[in-house]
Amino acid sequence: MSVLHVVFKVDGAEYALPASDVLQMETFTGATPVPGAPSHVAGLVQVRGRVIPVVDARVRFGLPPVQRSLDTRVVVGQLGNRTVGLLVDSAREVLKLDPAQVKPPPPLVVEGARGFVKAVAQVGPRLVMLIDFPRVIGEEAPDGDGQR
Amino acid sequence: MTGSVDLADFLPAYLAEAEELLGAAQRHLLAVEASVRRGLAHPRAVRELFRALHTIKGLSAMVDVESIVSIAHWMETSLRHSDRAGGRLPESSVEPLMEGLREIEQRVRQLAAGKPVTPVPAGLLERLEALEAAALGTDPAKPAPVALELDATVSARLSAAEREQLTVGAAGKRAVRLDFIPGAERASSGITINSVRERVAKLAEAVKVLPLSGPAAGGGSLTFVLLLLTDATDDALLEAAGGPPASVRALTAAPAVPAAPIVTTEPELEAVVARVEEEPEEQRRGGGTLRVEVSRLDEALERLAALVVNRSRLTRAVAALTAAGAPTRELTAILQENGRQLRDMRAAIIRLRMVKVADVLERLPLLVRGLRRSTGKAVRLELEVGDAELDKAVADRLLPALVHLVRNAVDHALELPEERRAAGKPEEGLVRLACHGGASGLLELSVTDDGRGVDAEAVARRAGVPVPATSDGLLDVLCRPGFSTRDAATSTSGRGMGMDIVRRITVDQLGGELRLETRPGQGTTFRLRVPLTITLLDALIFECAGLRYAVAVGSVEELIDVDAARLTRPAGASGVVLVERRGSAVPLLSLERLLERGSPDGQRGGTGAKALIVRQRGEPVAFAVDRLLGQQEIVLRPLEDPLVRVPGVAGATDLGDGQPTLVLDLAALGAARSGNGRRERAT
């Protein structure tokens, strides 16, 4: 059964997330920086009345910064109870991927991608990388007394 | 599959209800345990526990979580016998029942987190089944082998418990199969699996709901098979399912004839079952309470905040008109009235967010029970919380601190029974949590134990500091990050975290106070004082390095002008700048630098034009800012995500521009960024 995916671009490469994990996509008008947050956190944005952190995919993937454009998007993802945005160069496509198209990533990609890519899909001539969203946004566990 | 989409719609309500029922079940089971230990029967608690489990089972069948249904079913069965024995329960039964509740709770959590639900752990059902045998004093009663008329596809998906339920049936109820075939046409007239579920729930107990794909009557390709126990007629059920192509079939040849004696000997319990079935509906109509998602309350508050922002603009505009000589007397009067209305509105919304402290502390008895078992200490927990209320946002933050204090009290403060006896104290230790509303929007809480008290000398030795002279000093040492009075981390407390977390929550996060009173050999009391709400607060808005920030007015001691010509930079103090304030020198920190907003061209953080003076661990510290923009009421939205939960940032607010503005906690920011503070950021 093919699964709907949201496709986005970062530095020319194409990545995908299952559409079921994506709440919405927003244009980017700047984020409020949070001092002391990990460097890959671009800051806070307000999305339909909610304040959510935004992770800069370029910083996370170790890519050079780029001028934000009208194409820049925040892909708002849901991860359990957490809602986190991913700042990408553009996102304008939705694809149905058949599990048969999805393969484990080649070793070269695994090395280069620091575990952020968990699979690749061949779509015609294009290679779309399925990202490991929890890992990309960082798997920090909430603090507290650790007992809950 | 279509089925899962429908379940998703149903889930939030299920989760909320299941959580509530589990809470009730835990309470009743603890009550049962308390009676059991005194050798008494507690028929009412047994019955209440039974009701809670029965409802959990019914709800879980509707969302098709088989493992919960099975566990609840066997727990219910063993309680049925206990009820027949007049509410008596063997002591050995309590632990398996506790385990059952824990397992149900774990699965409800899994559902809530969108994770797959794990199957029933090996052996649990057998242990629960054995309880039934124990209660009866016989082998588990095997149900009369009545054949169920089910096709193999359906039959294969039934658990033993469900099959048993359908075969034995509830007293006088028939087991039937209702097939519902969804379709676009039906959906357009409002008949979906959800509406059918709801309507059927009033007529019957759902044992199982199975979505089956494949050709269905009427040209559909999906059939929901509802296996029910019911008193209602086929016609009534068919009607509830929207008529043909739905169909109803009996599962047993004759109306189930369960072992007759069971029916006749337990009319009372069946009456309970009947009440269980009726009550939720009754409560919904008559109870007058409503469950509302917190996000909706937040939204209402957000709208109110927008109104407040707008009102301050209006006020300024009217002031400008007045200054220009316009006749604004009536306008001003209306504006004043409007201000009063907004305040009332704000109070009303804050009231909506209040939760009972007693409800928040619901889990503590369970925690203490666990500690009793793991420490081998005899402990009694007393809760004296009356009907005090707190903003949910405060309550959620405060709970971990209270859990910590109670755990510490049992773990460190209370002595082992022998030791207590030798000291002439009752063997059973006491931990009391009390609270009372204080003046001016504050709630006072205390956690008291009658244990050994804090040994100030041992604490000082361990921390390598002189023995503190006052209890405040002692508390300071206890609250040092990583301080622990035990060498080995115990399973309950330890791991190097302790009082610093309690202080951080109470003082830094909530802006409250924490005090300590301790007497050697007699016990310790921690007193907490926290604001009833942190959701709405008066804030100073200022600008620093081109961005706006807010800070709670209450935390700022004074605003001063910074005269660059009158700053002193002591030699060798590595860039510390002192500013003079009424004859004494106060360290001036560059907020720009603390916020990591310093320009990258090597220029040192600016010393600003204004400074906010805040007390940091009792000492005044000045934070330099560029410009003050004014004072206004803001809605504080805490940052929940671990990525952005950093010390010094209390939350975010919207000042009306649609962009989040950070609300700073300057004391925590300064402490976190200065040399001796920890930088607790996640990596």
B19-44 confidence digits (pLDDT tens) = 888 888 888 888 888 888 877 778 88
Which residues lie below 8 Å from residue B226, measured CB to CB, with a gap of 6+? B177, B178, B179, B180, B196, B197, B200, B206, B208, B209, B241
Cβ within 8 Å, pair B497-A84: no
Torsion sign over Cα B477, B482, B485, B487: negative
Cβ within 8 Å, pair A41-B658: no
Rounded mean pLDDT, B579-598: 84
Rounded Cα–Cα distance for residues B391 and B535 (Å): 8
Residues in chain A with CB shorter than 8 Å from the CB of B293 are none
| Range with the poorest average pLDDT among B3-7, B88-92, B95-99, B215-219 | B3-7
Top-confidence range, B96-110, B250-264, B275-289? B96-110
Cβ within 8 Å, pair A37-B680: no
pLDDT band at A18 (very low <50, low <70, confident <90, very high): very high
Q: B226-256 pLDDT, tens per residue? A: 888 888 888 888 888 888 778 888 877 554 4
Rounded mean pLDDT, B333-360: 88
What is the per-residue pLDDT for B585?
86
Residues in chain B with CB shorter than 8 Å from the CB of A114 are none
What is the per-residue pLDDT for A10?
93
DSSP β-ladder status, A22-27 and B536-544: unpaired
Rounded Cα–Cα distance for residues B91 and B42 (Å): 12
Residues in chain B with CB shorter than 8 Å from the CB of A50 are 295
Which residues lie below 8 Å from residue B347, measured CB to CB, with a gap of 6+? none
What is the per-residue pLDDT for B679?
38
Residues in chain A with CB shorter than 8 Å from the CB of B681 are 36-38
Rounded Cα–Cα distance for residues B188 and A59 (Å): 48
A146/B contact by beta carbon, under 8 A: yes
What is the per-residue pLDDT for B143?
44
Domain ranges of chain A: 3-137
What is the per-residue pLDDT for A5?
93
Rounded Cα–Cα distance for residues B494 and B393 (Å): 27
Q: Is the pLDDT of residue B105 over 80?
A: yes
Nearest neighbour of A145 by CB, restricted to B403, B642, B669:
B403
Average pLDDT, chain B: 79
Cβ within 8 Å, pair A53-B639: yes
What is the per-residue pLDDT for B266?
43
Name the maximum alpha-carbon separation found in chain B: 99
Q: Is the pLDDT of residue B605 over 60?
A: no
**Per-residue b or e along B158-169, where b marks 16 or more CB atoms closer than 10 Å to that residue's CB:** bbebbbbbbbbb
* Whether the Cβ atoms of residue B356 and residue B389 lie closer than 8 Å to each other: yes
Minimal CA–CA distance to B428: which of B405, B447, B451, B406?
B451
Q: Where are the beta strands (DSSP E) in B286-441?
A: 354-356, 379-384, 389-391, 429-437
Element (H, E) at B68: helix B66-84
Which letter does DSSP use for residue B148 in this model? P
Minimal CA–CA distance to B512: which of B497, B502, B499?
B502
DSSP β-ladder status, B389-391 and B354-356: antiparallel
- Give the number of residues written for chain B: 683
Residues in chain B with CB shorter than 8 Å from the CB of A144 are 400, 501
R_g of chain B, CA atoms, integer Å: 31
pLDDT band at B677 (very low <50, low <70, confident <90, very high): very low
A44/B contact by beta carbon, under 8 A: yes
Task: Pick B3 or B23 by higher pLDDT.
Answer: B23
Minimal CA–CA distance to B655: which of B308, B353, B296?
B308
Rounded mean pLDDT, B125-132: 78
| Range with the poorest average pLDDT among A25-29, A60-64, B2-6, B495-499 | B2-6
Q: Which residue of B has its CA nearest to A44?
A: B660
Distances B554 to B347, B532, B665, B669 between C-alpha atoms, Å? 19, 15, 11, 16
Residues in chain A with CB shorter than 8 Å from the CB of B406 are none
What is the per-residue pLDDT for A146?
32
Q: Side-chain half-sphere of B320: how many Cα atoms within 13 Å?
A: 6
Q: Which amino acid is at B369?
A: R
Rounded Cα–Cα distance for residues B452 and B467 (Å): 18
At how many degrees (to 10) do helices B43-62 and B66-84 cross?
Answer: 160
* Whether the Cβ atoms of residue B379 and residue B371 lie closer than 8 Å to each other: yes
Rounded Cα–Cα distance for residues A73 and A10 (Å): 10
Q: Which residue of B has its CA nearest to A21?
A: B114
What is the per-residue pLDDT for B2?
39
Rounded Cα–Cα distance for residues B50 and A129 (Å): 52
Could you tell me which residues of chain B have a Cβ less than 8 Å from any Cβ in chain A? 113-114, 295, 298-299, 302, 400, 403-404, 407, 495, 497, 501, 547, 594-597, 637, 639-649, 652, 654, 658-662, 669, 672-673, 679-683
Cβ within 8 Å, pair A143-B649: no
Rounded Cα–Cα distance for residues B251 and B254 (Å): 9
Q: Which of B641, B654, B655, B666 to mutate to test the interface with A (most CBs of A within 10 A)?
A: B641
Which residues lie below 8 Å from residue B264, measured CB to CB, with a gap of 6+? none
Enter the CATH code of domain A3-137. Answer: 2.40.50.180
Minimal CA–CA distance to B669: which of B568, B608, B594, B615?
B594
Which residues lie below 8 Å from residue B348, measured CB to CB, with a gap of 6+? none
* Whether the Cβ atoms of residue B56 and residue B68 lie closer than 8 Å to each other: yes
Rounded Cα–Cα distance for residues A115 and A129 (Å): 12
Residue at token pair 């309950």? B492
Backbone angles phi, psi at A94, to 5 degrees: -125, 130
Minimal CA–CA distance to B108: which of B162, B50, B69, B51?
B69
DSSP β-ladder status, A90-97 and A73-79: unpaired
Q: Is the pLDDT of residue B259 over 90?
A: no
Nearest neighbour of B644 by CB, restricted to A34, A80, A148:
A34
Q: What is the DSSP string of chain A?
A: --EEEEEEEETTEEEEEEGGGEEEEEE----B--TTS-TTEEEEEEETTEEEEEEEHHHHTTPPP----TT-EEEEEEETTEEEEEEESEEEEEEEE-GGGEEPPPHHHHHHTTT-EEEEEEETTEEEEEE-HHHHH--PPP-SSS--
* Whether the Cβ atoms of residue A87 and residue A76 lie closer than 8 Å to each other: no
Cβ within 8 Å, pair A138-B648: no
User: Which residues between 73 and 132 in chain A have a beta carbon less than 8 angstroms from any beta carbon of chain B?
Assistant: 80-84
Q: Is the pLDDT of residue B441 over 60?
A: yes
CA angle B383, B387, B393 (to 5 degrees): 90
Minimal CA–CA distance to B355: which of B380, B381, B391, B396?
B391
Q: Is the pLDDT of residue B495 over 80?
A: no
Task: Pick B159 or B43 by higher pLDDT.
Answer: B43
**Per-residue b or e along B625-662, where b marks 16 or more CB atoms closer than 10 Å to that residue's CB:** bbeeeeebbbbbbbbbbbbbbbbbbbbbbbbeeebbbb
Cβ within 8 Å, pair A44-B652: yes
A and B: number of Cβ contacts within 8 A: 106
Nearest neighbour of B681 by CB, restricted to A36, A146, A148:
A36
A66/B contact by beta carbon, under 8 A: no
CA angle B446, B451, B452 (to 5 degrees): 120
At how many degrees (to 10) do helices B43-62 and B267-286 cross?
Answer: 70
What is the per-residue pLDDT for A145?
32
Nearest neighbour of A80 by CB, restricted to B114, B596, B643:
B114
Rounded mean pLDDT, B469-487: 77
pLDDT band at B461 (very low <50, low <70, confident <90, very high): confident
Cβ within 8 Å, pair A80-B113: yes
What is the per-residue pLDDT for B279?
46
Residues in chain A with CB shorter than 8 Å from the CB of B662 are 32, 34, 44
Cβ within 8 Å, pair B652-A32: yes
Q: Is the pLDDT of residue B406 over 80?
A: yes
Which residues lie below 8 Å from residue B214, measured CB to CB, with a gap of 6+? B221, B223
Average pLDDT, chain A: 86
Q: Which residue of A has its CA nearest to B303?
A: A49
Residues in chain A with CB shorter than 8 Å from the CB of B491 are none
How many angstroms away from the CA of A98 is the closest CA of chain B?
Answer: 16
Rounded Cα–Cα distance for residues B394 and B433 (Å): 17
Rounded mean pLDDT, B288-292: 78
Proportion of chain B above pLDDT 90, given as a percent = 13
DSSP β-ladder status, B660-664 and B547-552: parallel
Q: Which residue of A has its CA nearest to B594?
A: A35
Element (H, E) at B313: helix B294-323
Minimal CA–CA distance to B552: which of B505, B602, B508, B618?
B508
Burial class (CB in 10 A: 0-12, 13-18, 19+), B344: exposed
Cβ within 8 Å, pair A36-B647: yes
Residues in chain A with CB shorter than 8 Å from the CB of B637 are 51
Cβ within 8 Å, pair A35-B669: yes
